[in-house]
Every structure is written in C-alpha cells, then in structure tokens.
Amino acid sequence: MKKNNIYIILSVIFAATTLAGCKKFLEHQPDNRTTLNSPEKVAELLVAAYPRANYIPFTEAMSDNVEDKGSAENDLFNSRPWNYTDQNDRTYDTPNFYWNGCYTAIAAANHALDAINKAADQAPYSASKGEALVARAYSHFMLVTLFAKPYDAATAASDPGIPYVTEPEEKPEGNYERKTVAYVYEMIDKDLKEGLPLIKDNSYRIPKYHFTKAAANAFATRFYLFKKDYPNVIKYANDAFPTAAIAANLRPINTTYLGFGNNFYDIQAFYTKSEDPGNLLLAEANTIWGRDYYRYRYGLGNRLRGEVLGSLNPLGVELYRVVFGAQPEAYNVPKFREHFVKESINANTGDAYNMIPLFSTEEVLFNRAEANVMQGNFPDAIADLNVYLSKRIRAYSPITHIFTLDKAKAFYTGKSSEAALIESILDYKRQEYIHEGVRWLDLLRHKRGVTHTSFDGKTVNVYPATDPRRILQLPKEAIALGLSANAR
C-alpha cells in the first residue's frame, strides 16, 4: 500500500497534547521530550496516553439502542450517525475528533516508550513500559474496530486496517500505511502480551485512571472476544476476577444505588467515581455527551424504555435502574456528570469534560459468560449471569430469581441452548450499557443489522451487517493525502 506523510492527520503533534492538555504548558516548556529523563516524568507523561475523546455519541446513535423521539433536539452530532451519514466535522463527539484523540494518546505512549528504551537503567521504568504498551494497544484496537471491518479470520489478511504507529515523531512528518486488519490485530496482541505482565497497580496514585492489572485483563477479554479466541477470553477474565471475587467488584446497583433513592445527582456522580467497584478504567474526555444525551432526538424513548429496560427478559423481572425524565423525550439513566473548565476565572466559555468508564467489571463477566457459552460450558455462563442478576434485582431472592437454561429457552422461543444463552447475555448487556455505546461493539462483533424507523413510521431505514457505512470513514484530510478511503 502507498505510504503517506500524515503526521498532522494522525494528530501526533506531541507538544500540543502532552500531560493534562493545559494550553499554558507550552508557554513554559515547548518540548517536554527533552525532560523525559526519570521514571517519575515518564509516568506523568502517560496520563496523556488515553484518548481524551468520546466515542459514545456516534456509536450509540448508530446502534439499536436509540429511537426517533420526534420532538426532541435535533443535533448533527446525533442525527448524522443515526442516519449513517459521514461526518466531516473535527469537533468533539465526532469520529474525526476521536481518531485524532486516539493517535494523540498513541503519540504519548510512543514517546514514553522511546524515553524508556534510551534509559541507561530500564528496570525502574518497567511498570510505565507496561502501561504504555497496553495503552497503545487499546487506542489502536478502538480505531481498527470503528474505522475498519470487524475482525474475520477469513478476510482479515486482506481487509484494510488502520496505521499502527510504534515510533515517536521527532519532526512534523512520518510515513504511515493502513496495512491490514490482521496486521493490526497481531500488533495489538504483541503489545498487550508484552505489556500486561509489567503493570504494577501500586505504581499509580489513582489506579482507576490507569491500566491496572484488572483493567488490562478486561481489555484483553474484549480483544480476544472480537478475535473469537474464547479460551483466552476465559483466561484473562479469570485473571481479572476469579469467580468467587467478581461479585464484590460489580456495581452495587441494588444496594448502594438503591440507597440513593431518586436522587439524580448522587447516582450521576457515583457512576463515574473510582469508588464504584465496577469501574476498572476511567478516562476524561472532552465532550458534551453528559449535558445533551438525554435531550437528543435519537435516544431512549418510550418504546425502548419498555423493551430494553423493562421486564422483557428470561426472568420476567425488571432490573433495578432509575430512569429520569418527566416525558419520553427526556428519558435517561443518569451516568455522566459534566466538569466544565473555563478558559479563565471570569470567562463564560471553556471546555466540557466527562469521565468515561472505558472498562467495567460487568464487561469481564459478560465476556467470560459469552466465551463459556461458545465453548459449550453452559453451567459456568449461567453461574456468571446469576451473579450479575444478584446485584441488579431489587429484593433479590436466589430461589425466586434464579436464571436457568430452561427459562432462557422458554423466553427465546425456538432457539438452541447456545443461541438462547447468547441472546440472554447480549440483552442484559444491552441494558447494562445503555447510553455508553457498548451495544455497537456487540452489533459489529455479531454482524447484526440495525433498523431505524422515523417517529411517524413513514421512513424505515435498514442497515444490514454488510452495509459499508457501518465502518466509519477516515478523516477527509487523511484521505486527501493518500490513505485509502473506506468503501461507500
């Protein structure tokens, strides 16, 4: 494939994005690379190795987790992905912004790794090396998942991937190529397996803002589930949480959250706090999602509230979850509290940020359950689902509320045991991650189509799994400089 000088397109102008992203930082130290000469400085740099961009606004809108609410606010950030229309904007909450955010994070990881490799004594940098490798793998994984075809062993060796960047940039130019999905997966696998054993949780001041062992293992379960490497999904899930320990690390929905009653702000704040045991990795993103998701035209409305959050499940029991909004146009489950940073003390303008849960204990449980089903280990999958339900059903009774294969097959009429269990997992997972964009990842992985119907029912758009618009288009600047565009 043709190589391209797309340094700016990959958004790896390192000095503009180091550390906490503070604009005034450049006034004091225009090039922080010259000072990466200690383990402490390298560790500090890795704060920037996580995307400060949000994929949820477009992945949620493309999925079947949203409906046309008719009279709610019609915003392009929301309507374009709903209509599978390419977005050329580079502002927050768009695919282009996320692309740049990921490559900026990759740049930080690469500069940290370069500093480590140049150190006379690399031993004190071991934990940072592990974090940098896993963080680099994560950003590339999210890019290849969203901007390339889903991994398919039969076609991955020929499907165009995304540039996998492993070298730091010393000047504003660089040669990049898309290569293949198979190549990108090989590189992710390499970075993940090399980095994970090096991670040390006690090296972090606030562990849940970094790739801890548990968070890295959670990422591994997602990666290998996409690859359909089910034994590795189970292995890394068990490494993250043995079966006996996972219950205590799930979100305490029917205890702590139940205790909040109907206090919207308490629920909203706790959901993205490090104190919630379910949160494994939190990242700050420049986004207005938390401010606007409940009022977008395409979101959780009356029909989906009953379908997704109601009692339409194998147990016939509604899981405890508070839904706010006085009318269908504003229904929402509180999850994101905005942090607004003013440009100056007296300014009225600034930037909005949300803490985004990138990985949670629930995903480890669901991924392990799905892998066990695909391996024919139905009892283990059922056991995990019962652990999950024990934390979600109000006034839970292990006798009354036990999930069984028979109940799953009775609910999903005509499906095999395997299919009924997979449907159970995906439906409970769909409910768990409402407003979080994770449903889109499952739809991609299972190659499931999406149907979007207008509020008046006159327009029905069907987007099958083969629709090329499911693969996000690369930024137009990258295409203009030579990277091959995704088919349309």
Q: What is the DSSP letter of 330?
A: G
* Other Cβ atoms closer than 10 A to 466: 8
Per residue in 153-175, pLDDT tens? 999 999 999 999 999 875 444 56
pLDDT the model gives residue 244: 82
Evaluate whether residue 403 is within a structural domain: no
pLDDT the model gives residue 133: 98
Residue 213 · residue 221 · CB < 8 Å? no
Evaluate whether residue 389 is within a structural domain: no
Range of the structural domain that residue 456 is part of: 4-332+434-480
Q: Which two tokens stand for residue 164?
A: 């996998």
Separation between Cα atoms, residue 204 and residue 459, nearest integer Å: 52
Between the alpha carbon of residue 271 and those of residues 48, 69, 267, 276, 279, the distances in Å are: 23, 26, 6, 7, 8
Evaluate whether residue 374 is within a structural domain: no
- The vertex-487 CA angle with 11 and 63, nearest 5°, equals 80
Evaluate whether residue 156 is within a structural domain: yes
Evaluate whether residue 175 is within a structural domain: yes
Evaluate whether residue 236 is within a structural domain: yes
pLDDT the model gives residue 170: 57
Evaluate whether residue 242 is within a structural domain: yes
CATH number for position 28:
1.25.40.390
Q: Based on the structure, what is the number of domains in the chain?
A: 1
pLDDT the model gives residue 72: 64
Per residue in 90-133, pLDDT tens? 999 999 999 999 999 999 999 999 999 999 999 999 999 999 99
Evaluate whether residue 474 is within a structural domain: yes
pTM: 0.92
Nearest Cα neighbor of 179 from 202, 208, 212, 156 is: 156
Residue 15 · residue 32 · CB < 8 Å? yes
